[in-house]
Chain A
Amino acid sequence: MSLTTKRNAVWKSLVVGVLVYVGALAMPQPAHAEYADVVINNYADAAGMRPAVFPHWFHRIRFRCKVCHADLGFKFKAGGNKITMAKIIEGKFCGACHNGEVAWSVENCAMCHSGIPGTPTHFHGSTVQRLIAPAYKPLSADKTKVQNTSGTQKKK
């Protein structure tokens, strides 16, 4: 092997290495959302809305678990309650408080519907999610393939 090809090889591998290094640095960092934030995307994406984000911490400062999970009938399952805006307006689920009396009412669409579009329904930071279905980054359509191979499922 001549000296020039050797040098070429050296340069090539160096350039690849540096590219990968820089590329890795430029990658977005994993999501750091609050432990126990719930993203609910049963119907939102299909309806052209951002998914709803429920902050557990904000509500538990004000209410004990019992209020929602015993009195209002919320199941202990992300996306398991099949909440629709119609039910909320009727005063069920979130609508029991988010009616302009106990808390602000449904006109404030974007306060709940504030998730990054395409984020699947999940429990943020939960052990189950970290063990089985790792956190994902919401992606544009062409990158969804790569996302799906990493074990994340989009549940409808």
Chain B
Amino acid sequence: MRMKVTIFSFALAALMSAGVQAQDVAGGGSFAQGEIIQLAAAGVSSANTFNRNLKKQKVHNPPPPEDGIHDPENEATYTLQPPKEAFTGLPKTDFGNRVDWVKAIDQGALKPRWDRVDPNEEPFVMDLDIVRPVKASVPDVVFPHRQHTEWLFCSNCHPAIFIPQKGANQINMSAILLGQKCGVCHGKVSFPITTKTCKKCHSKPKPADWKPPLSEASVKNPWK
């Protein structure tokens, strides 16, 4: 009996702490020190928050006083524009801040300035798709210059982030997730790397006769 109840309360605690991220545990205001330590121990380790605990955000585009980084005690926080108000009429997506910014420009819903002061200056748009073959079986990557040059200038990426030469840039998903290469913007301001966005880059199906490349070892010493 005692065992059962102890297990029950443990399960209860685990259930609840699973819903609370480690930082929230640290933020518990009205608890005695002992309880905080106990909860922290039962809480989710920050090292394990990848994937399983990259939880869906339930509230999107909250007004500044409720967003957790603006100070609600600051009077000017209430004068700031809530994002939702500004986003009405803009095309939507399922990720990032829920606005499809590229589509917004394409549709003409937005016309951000290309110059600090001159509203009539037009961007220098280059329409060139770069196909990057991918070793793995996922579709190949198509990098569209057009969408990027609508927003950015050549010097933003070349040559510091990407060497403008075929085959000169080693790119992999880990580097991107860690904020290198495409990850300098993607995952920070432009659309994030989620399972919903894979296909935005990996968009060119492999040719019908595609076979996985042989590893260096099997090329050197083929078993046959």
* Interface residues of A, Cβ cutoff 8 Å to B: 6, 9-10, 13-14, 16-21, 23-37, 39, 50, 53, 55-58, 60-67, 69-72, 76, 96-97, 102, 108, 110-111, 113-117, 119, 123-128, 130-132, 134-137, 139, 143, 146-147, 149-152
Q: Across the two chains, which residue of chain A brings its CB closest to B31? A: A23
Number of A-B contacts (CB under 8 A): 248
Contact of B26 among A14, A32, A146 (CB under 8 A): A146
Q: A13-B9, A35-B96, A58-B86 are in contact. Are A115 and B183 (CB under 8 A)?
A: no
A34 partner residues in chain B, CB cutoff 8 A? 61-62, 67, 83, 97
B115 partner residues in chain A, CB cutoff 8 A? 67, 71
B198 at the interface (CB under 8 A from A): no
19 residue pairs of the A-B complex, CB under 8 angstroms, read: A6-B2, A10-B1, A21-B12, A24-B20, A50-B71, A60-B112, A63-B113, A64-B112, A64-B123, A67-B114, A70-B156, A76-B156, A111-B80, A114-B64, A127-B179, A130-B54, A131-B178, A135-B21, A135-B23
Contact A20 B17 (CB under 8 A): yes
Contact A20 B12 (CB under 8 A): yes
Which residues of chain B in 12-71 are interfacial with respect to chain A, using CB atoms and an 8 Å cutoff?
Answer: 12-13, 16-17, 19-31, 35-36, 38-40, 42, 46-47, 49-50, 54, 57-62, 64, 66-71
Interface size class of B (residues with CB under 8 A): 35 or more
In Å, the complex CA distance between A151 and B189 comes to: 23
Contact of B123 among A36, A66, A108, A126 (CB under 8 A): A66
As a 0/1 sequence over residues 122 to 141 of chain B, the CB contacts with chain A under 8 angstroms (1 = contact) are 01000000000000000000
